[in-house]
């Protein structure tokens, strides 16, 4: 075991961390995984708007780490999880925490913070195996501290919450106390000051101000900005939970705080200084919350006696945080709603129903019975059909559109009938049997691929709905800046350079026009592949039916792996253009070799060059390498094209020898 102090009387074996993909929970999880390889950790999170698997990236390759997507309000899941995983320790971070949201959506706070905690406590009582239950609360349960007081609230202070959020946290604390006294549950409660640092969702003050300053926008101050808060850097807080886990005394409460206070105006001024902005011109005063406590001040001596102390000075922590957001400005996708002065429920949450939870390994599972509802266009097409099947299999609400893309009124009727959260557009003309058809049917191709797509995007914008547009990467071809075999791929902002196919020309044209629509996420697929080798649209199936092929490396998309990622991108409200292929390239000959190894040992083929190929084609074909750095940052587990073909396509179809 590594670390700066030795555990005193308690050493856990298997820890359940709820809310592990959230801000504080992820920092604690990553610290424990790194410092205690002998501890097994099960990370649980329902992946609400303010949590992300990316926050747990440092831990996900560790053998002592397992992630489970699920909701703490699901009693059956919690009971099953504690028993099946042999959990002996719980660190309970899961909660709705943003005060502004609680004024407009207080029932959600009651459900998550009180009922969810009750479900966990009851599961501990029923299973009787948990030796330590650390309940994470907040300094806000104490209510407002007198501005003139030099004495912070000790742990024995009366709880006087003043807003719906703090009231639900105080209510949860009462349940924790009752289960400790009535049933002897081994509980510890923490009450913490404000925490800041990398990975924090920007509904909170510091990341919000940083991102607004980066955009050159004004910083909104509630009221007159005199409200005072104490701020702790996330690494120091993670260490505090490390200490409490090992040295905390059962039945006790520990304040996690600092005596160093700053007003909201001070915070804004410090951020202005780091960005070299004039506070007088940058700070903007807005209406205050319905009630805004002026000060929270804690007595932190009890935790210090366990051996913990704050290490990161405010100036250092703020600079570290600012640098992280500069390097990761799109970590949370589109956060426009979070950056407004009074955010409410910013993004659609994806809470599990009472029976729905999925383990995540290399794939991305979406909770069934979620609040997502998709309107899918392209029912008779390959990809549209697969999207519908996936949603049906996973219990995601969806309906297929019946309107024609170029008919705005029929699209508006669909929107009124379905009331979707997202539109998935997989409709379009690719030509049958191939894109050569488009060369002789140009008007029809324009009508659907250009006019229809733009009409749908416009309707979605009018209705404030995100449109996931399944497009193509066949708008590029190898050139002097991106030569074949160089490893240099085309990025999302590169201008299309392949227009020798009319199909590609229309797709490049509409993509350029869609840049004006902020409500569109464009996914560029290439040479789609799936495990269904009977489908004539499957690129592997196409190849296997040819006697001659051009042997050129290309980027390709394995639908079995990538379409679930597309659904997850919709849930995360991703925007803009994305190269949507598996990482790397694979040549046609390499696919044949794999097909021969796994499927048909008798397969034979030969090659011809591009000039010979041109003699049998009406329109030239695009060959390119797509750079998927952007996608890999969002989904680091996505497999390379070769590995994905083997895992999702060839292994399931492998012929027994």
Name the residues annotated as catalytic.
139-140, 165
What is d(CA 582, CA 471) in angstroms, rounded to the nearest whole number? 15
What is d(CA 468, CA 622) in angstroms, rounded to the nearest whole number? 23
Give the pair of three-digit tokens for residue 558: 């394995």
What is d(CA 579, CA 630) in angstroms, rounded to the nearest whole number? 8
What is d(CA 192, CA 486) in angstroms, rounded to the nearest whole number? 52
**Around 328, how many Cα atoms within 13 Å sit in the side-chain half-sphere?**
19
What is d(CA 185, CA 129) in angstroms, rounded to the nearest whole number? 10
**Helix (H) or strand (E) run with residue 301 in it:** helix 301-304
The residues near 130 (Cβ < 8 Å, ≥ 6 apart) are 82, 87, 88, 89, 90, 124, 185, 186
Helices and strands, number each (H, E), in the chain:
24, 21
Give helix 264-274 / helix 314-327 axis angle, nearest 10°: 60
User: Which residues partner with 309 through β-bridges?
Assistant: none
What is d(CA 266, CA 202) in angstroms, rounded to the nearest whole number? 18
CB 325 within 8 A of CB 204: no
Burial of 629 (0-12, 13-18, 19+ CB in 10 A): exposed
What is d(CA 394, CA 635) in angstroms, rounded to the nearest whole number? 20
Ramachandran region of residue 594, left (φ > 0), alpha (ψ -120 to 50) or beta? alpha
Give the pair of three-digit tokens for residue 512: 């350029």
User: Which residues partner with 398 through β-bridges?
Assistant: 374
Residue matched to tokens 């706070």: 109
What would you report as the CA-atom Rg of the chain, rounded to the nearest whole angstrom?
27
């Amino acid at each position: 075991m590594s670390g700066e102090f030795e555990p005193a009387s308690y050493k856990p074996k298997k820890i359940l961390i709820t809310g592990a993909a959230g801000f504080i929970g992820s920092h604690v999880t990553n610290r424990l995984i790194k410092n205690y390889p002998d501890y097994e950790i099960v990370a649980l999170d329902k992946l609400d708007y303010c949590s992300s698997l990316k926050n747990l990236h440092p831990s996900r390759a560790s053998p002592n780490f397992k992630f489970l997507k699920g909701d703490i309000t699901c009693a059956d899941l919690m009971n099953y999880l504690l028993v099946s995983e042999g959990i002996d320790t719980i660190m309970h971070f899961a909660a709705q925490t943003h005060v502004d949201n609680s004024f407009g959506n207080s029932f959600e706070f009651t459900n998550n913070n009180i009922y969810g905690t009750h479900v966990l406590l009851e599961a501990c009582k029923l299973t009787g195996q948990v030796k330590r239950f650390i309940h994470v609360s907040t300094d806000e349960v104490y209510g407002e501290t007198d501005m003139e007081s030099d004495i912070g609230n000790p742990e024995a202070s009366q709880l006087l919450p003043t807003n719906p959020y703090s009231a639900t946290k105080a209510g949860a604390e009462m349940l924790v106390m009752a289960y400790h006294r009535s049933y002897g549950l081994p509980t510890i409660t923490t009450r913490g000051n404000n925490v800041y640092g990398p990975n924090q969702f920007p509904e909170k003050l510091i990341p919000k101000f940083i991102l607004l300053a980066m955009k050159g926008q004004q910083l909104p101050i509630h009221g007159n900005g005199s409200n005072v808060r104490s701020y702790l850097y996330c690494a120091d807080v993670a260490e505090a939970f490390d200490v409490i886990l090992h040295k905390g005394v059962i039945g006790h409460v520990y304040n996690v705080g600092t005596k160093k206070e700053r007003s909201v105006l001070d915070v804004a001024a410090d951020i202005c200084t780091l960005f070299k902005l004039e506070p007088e011109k940058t700070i903007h005063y807005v209406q205050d919350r319905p009630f805004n406590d002026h000060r929270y001040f804690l007595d932190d001596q009890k935790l210090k006696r366990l051996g913990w102390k704050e290490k990161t000075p405010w100036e250092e922590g703020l600079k570290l945080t600012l640098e992280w957001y500069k390097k990761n400005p799109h970590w949370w996708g589109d956060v426009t709603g979070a950056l407004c002065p009074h955010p409410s429920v910013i993004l659609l949450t994806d809470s599990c129903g009472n029976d729905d939870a999925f383990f995540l390994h290399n794939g991305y599972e979406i909770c069934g019975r979620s609040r997502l509802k998709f309107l899918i266009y392209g029912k008779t097409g390959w990809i549209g059909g697969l999207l519908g099947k996936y949603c049906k299999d996973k219990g995601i609400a969806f309906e297929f559109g019946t309107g024609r893309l170029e008919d705005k009124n029929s699209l508006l009727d669909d929107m009124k009938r379905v009331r979707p959260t997202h539109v998935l557009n997989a409709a379009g003309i690719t030509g049958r049997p191939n894109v050569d058809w488009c060369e002789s049917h140009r008007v029809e191709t324009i009508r659907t691929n250009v006019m229809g797509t733009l009409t749908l995007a416009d309707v979605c914008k009018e209705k404030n709905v995100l449109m996931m547009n399944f497009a193509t990467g066949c708008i590029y071809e190898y050139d002097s800046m991106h030569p074949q075999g160089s490893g240099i791929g085309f990025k999302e902002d590169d201008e299309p350079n392949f227009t020798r196919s009319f199909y590609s020309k229309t797709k490049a044209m509409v993509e350029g026009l869609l840049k004006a629509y902020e409500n569109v996420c464009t996914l560029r697929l290439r040479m789609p592949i799936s495990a269904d080798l009977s489908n004539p649209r499957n690129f592997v199936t196409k190849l296997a039916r040819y006697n001659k092929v051009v042997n050129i490396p290309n980027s390709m998309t394995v639908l079995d792996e990538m379409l679930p990622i597309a659904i997850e991108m919709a849930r995360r409200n991703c925007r803009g253009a994305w190269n949507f292929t598996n990482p790397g390239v694979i040549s046609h000959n390499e696919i044949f070799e794999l097909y021969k190894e796994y499927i048909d040992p008798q397969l034979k083929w030969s090659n011809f060059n591009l000039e010979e190929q041109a003699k049998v084609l009406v329109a030239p074909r695009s060959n390119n390498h797509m750079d998927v750095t952007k996608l890999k940052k969002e989904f680091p587990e996505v497999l390379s094209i070769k590995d994905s073909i083997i895992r999702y396509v060839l292994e399931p179809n492998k012929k027994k020898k």
